[in-house]
Amino acid sequence: MRYSGFRVIREALTGHKGWGPAWRDATPQASYDYIIVGGGGHGLATAYYLAKEFKQARIALVEKGWIGGGNVGRNTTIIRSNYLLDGNEPFYEFSLKLWEGLEQDFNYNAMVSQRGIINLYHTDAQRDAYTRRGNAMILHGADAELLNRDQVRAMYPFLNFDNARFPIKGALMQRRGGTVRHDAVAWGYARGASDRGVDIIQNCEVTGFRREGGRVTGIETSRGFIGAKKIGVAVAGSSSKVMAAADMRLPMESHVLQAFVSEGLKPVIDGVMTYGAGHFYVSQSDKGGLVFGGDIDGYNSYAQRGNMPVVEDVAEGGMSLMPMIGRARLLRSWGGIMDMSMDGSPIIDKTDIEGLYFNGGWCYGGFKATPASGWCFAHLLATGNPHPTATAYRFDRFRKGLMIDEKGQGAQPNLH
Amino acid sequence: MIINHPLLGPRDAQEFTYLGDATLIDRPDGLSFPSADAAMDAMHDYLYQRSNPAGEHRELWFHEQGDRSWLVVTRNTVTHEILKVELARDVARMRGRSK
């Protein structure tokens, strides 16, 4: 069924009797050509692009819980392509371009809203660094604009401009950045994939990989063995756990990141904003809640909930940037588990086991990457070669010294 | 989280900074390998690869806002429960370091 304005009117006039489920809850068959492990944003996008762009037959996606129940439903919904390094920027710009055409492409309202993102700067050195970053973005075909203090003040007059220690001096702006309704991304990709014949199998946890002569032949799951020629794993947060079943150790640690939403307020922040002097980023949802977050808790965790010190730290960041936030009450907070990689950048690569492919290590920037991650992973699965924008995301970059370390922190996952 | 420091008693985890897996104590000696490739492999695995278990995890914490000692904390990464706290110095000596 195609969704359209005409369809909405017709259903409204006929008692909404024609709507069916958006996608098919499948039961596993004996074998497939391709199995995608992980029913989050990246896994669903991979299945969708594999079926749509690369025309592959017999694809299944297995998920241990329900689709969209992990990080795609837990993030702060920001999309942007404001990276500095050559290994990253073309990939994220490709992703932003896919976001721009996504709703037409998969015929689903994902509420893609290019409301603009600003990164505030507070010192001359930070201004210079953002100038450099903006130039790098423009060189890769993205948009970037350096705003001065008055331009920022015209947009957000309530910010703490004259903070004695961290005065706001301006911002790097990307007007094409913005927010997307995150759950709708999962549902839209699931619907698009299901319509093209992908079996979406829920409550199906992978417990092992069956191998013969250095090659995978299928997965052992809580619903029995399923055979496959090629298997793609996209289970960010649980990557180390799943790949341990294939006797692999990964260059990453799992960490918990918390996010927060305030009570509903009148419109006050019409774009996305990041604080340059503390780790704090905020936007306002269409329901009025301020959606914000900060740093990861900083220690290995699989708990999907964090501790109070980081709540306090994020609140302090918010108070320092926009003191009026102190009058708002917190409605909810939650946590998600991140693959924190050794250089802060992801991996989309084949493994040493023939037929087994891996996608993970997104740190806490995976949501914005969803379309390109799916596209590039599908490209790798279908053709055996990396997509041109994702050639740097290899396992062996650590061995070869080709790290993609935006923050220059070194092999310290909790600092990326 | 409260870390029960072997010398100072229970301390708030906020006084500490976190480094990572306690295997970082066992840095390989690059000169003790038969070939440069073997040394490279060992150093690569030491520096970049992690077991990253869901469950019991031995990890290094530094008491930065306290007595500046390094601790090996055994903690459950699923529940955040702290099971055991040792001085990293004692652990390293037990493994034959500083002899």
Question: Residue A411's domain is classified under what CATH number?
Answer: 3.50.50.60
Distance from CA of A239 to the nearest CA of B (A): 9
Q: Cβ A240–B59 below 8 Å, yes or no?
A: no
**Contact with chain B for residue A33, Cβ under 8 A:** no
Rounded-to-integer distance, Cα A361 and Cα A239, Å: 8
Do A168 and A197 share a domain, yes or no?
Answer: no
C-alpha–C-alpha distance, residues A98 and A224, integer Å = 36
Residues 33-52 of B with CB under 8 A from A: 40, 44-45, 47-52
CB-CB under 8 Å, A342 with B52: no
Instruction: Note whether residue A87 is domain-resident.
Output: no
* Residue A39 pLDDT > 70: yes
Closest by Cβ to B51, choosing from A249, A298, A299 = A249
* Contact criterion met (CB < 8 Å) for A250 and B59: no
The enclosing H or E element of B36 equals: helix B36-48
The verdict on residue A101 lying in a domain is no
Beta pairing, strands B70-76 & A59-62? unpaired
Spell out which residues of chain B touch residue A249, defining contact as CB-CB under 8 Å.
Answer: 45, 49-52
Nearest residue to A363 via CA among A210, A255, A209, A266? A255
Asked if the Cβ–Cβ distance from A300 to B78 is below 8 Å, we say no
pLDDT tens for each residue of A322-371? 999 999 999 999 999 999 999 999 999 999 999 999 999 999 999 999 99
How many domains, in total, are found in chain A? Answer: 2
Q: How far is A351 from chain B (nearest CA, A)?
A: 15
In a domain? residue A98: no
* Domain final residue pick, A325, A341, A357: A341
The shortest C-alpha distance from A360 to chain B (Å) reads 14
User: Mind giving me the DSSP string for A279-299?
Assistant: S-EEEE-TTSEEEEEEEEEEE
Q: Identify the pLDDT of residue B28.
A: 93
Calculate the alpha carbon distances from B14 to A114, A309, A334, B74 in Å. Answer: 38, 7, 20, 17
Give the CA count within 13 Å in the CB-facing half-sphere of A221: 28
| Cα dihedral sign, A213-A219-A224-A226 | negative
Please check whether residues A284 and A395 belong to one and the same domain: no
Q: Which residues of A touch B45 (CB under 8 A)?
A: 249
Interface confidence, given as ipTM, is 0.95
Tokens of A315: 């609140």
Name residues whose C-beta falls within 8 Å of residue A310's C-beta, 6 or more positions apart in sequence.
A258, A294, A295, A296, A297, A298
Q: Which DSSP symbol is given to A329?
A: P
Q: Say whether both A243 and A374 belong to one domain.
A: yes
Residue A100 within any structural domain of the chain: no
Q: Which residue range(s) make up the domain with A403? A: 5-77+182-251+344-415
Q: Is residue A322 included in any domain, yes or no?
A: yes
Across the A:B interface, residue pairs with CB atoms under 8 Å apart total: 69
Give the CATH number for residue A117.
3.30.9.10
Q: Are residues A154 and A265 in the same domain?
A: yes
User: Of A341, A368, A400, which marks where a domain is finished?
Assistant: A341
- In A286-315, the residues whose Cβ lies within 8 Å of chain B are 298-303, 307, 309
- Which of left, alpha, beta for B25 (phi over 0: left; psi -120 to 50: alpha)? alpha
**Does residue A257 sit within a domain?**
yes
Q: Any idea which residue has 């999309």 for tokens?
A: A79
Closest partner residue to B49 (CB to CB) among A251, A298, A412 is A251
Pick from A174, A301, A218: nearest CA to B82:
A301
Task: Tell me: do A273 and A331 sit in the same domain.
Answer: yes
Q: How far apart are CA B49 and CA A250, in angstroms?
A: 5
Cα distance between residue A51 and residue A38, in whole Å: 16
pTM for the complete prediction?
A: 0.96
Classify residue A99: in a domain, yes or no. Answer: no
In this complex, do A307 and B20 lie within 8 Å of one another by their Cβ atoms? Answer: no
Residue where a domain stops, chosen among A309, A341, A373: A341
Mean pLDDT for the stretch of residues A143-163 = 97
Of B17, B21, B54, the CB nearest to A241: B54
B8 touches chain A (CB under 8 A): no
Co-location of A165 and A201 in the same domain: no
- B81 contacts chain A (CB < 8 A): no
Q: Does one domain contain both A274 and A190?
A: no
Distance CA A274, CA A269 (A): 12
* Exposure string over A343-360, b if 16+ CB within 10 A, otherwise e: bbbbbbbbbebebbbbbb
- How far apart, in whole angstroms, are the C-alpha atoms of residue A1 and residue B60? 55
Same structural domain, A226 and A320: no
Task: Walk me through the domains of chain B, giving residue ranges and CATH numbers.
Answer: 2-94 (3.30.2270.10)
* Whether A128 and A163 share a structural domain: yes
Task: Please report the residues numbered 359 through 398 in chain A whose beta carbons come closer than 8 angstroms to any beta carbon of chain B.
Answer: 398
Identify whether residues A306 and A374 lie together within a single domain: no
What is the DSSP code (8-state) at residue B9?
E
pLDDT at A57 over 90: no
Please name which of A238, A246, A262 lies closest in space to residue A350, comparing C-alpha atoms: A246
| Confidence band, pLDDT 50/70/90 cuts, at residue B98 | confident
Residue corresponding to tokens 């423009």: A138
Nearest 5°: the CA angle A41, A47, A49 is 95
User: Taking the CB of residue A136, how many other CB atoms lie within 10 A of it?
Assistant: 18
> How many Å apart are CA A128 and CA A131, to the nearest integer?
5
Q: Does A399 touch chain B (CB under 8 A)?
A: yes
CA-based nearest distance A36→chain B, Å: 22
Give CA–CA dist B78/A300, Å, rounded: 9
Q: Are residues A53 and A14 in the same domain?
A: yes
* pLDDT single digits (tens) B7-63: 999 999 999 999 999 999 999 998 999 999 999 999 999 999 999 999 999 999 999
Whether A171 is covered by a domain: the verdict is yes
Q: Does one domain contain both A38 and A136?
A: no
Of A308, A314, A297, the closest CA to residue A260 belongs to A314
Is the model's pLDDT at A201 over the cut of 80? yes
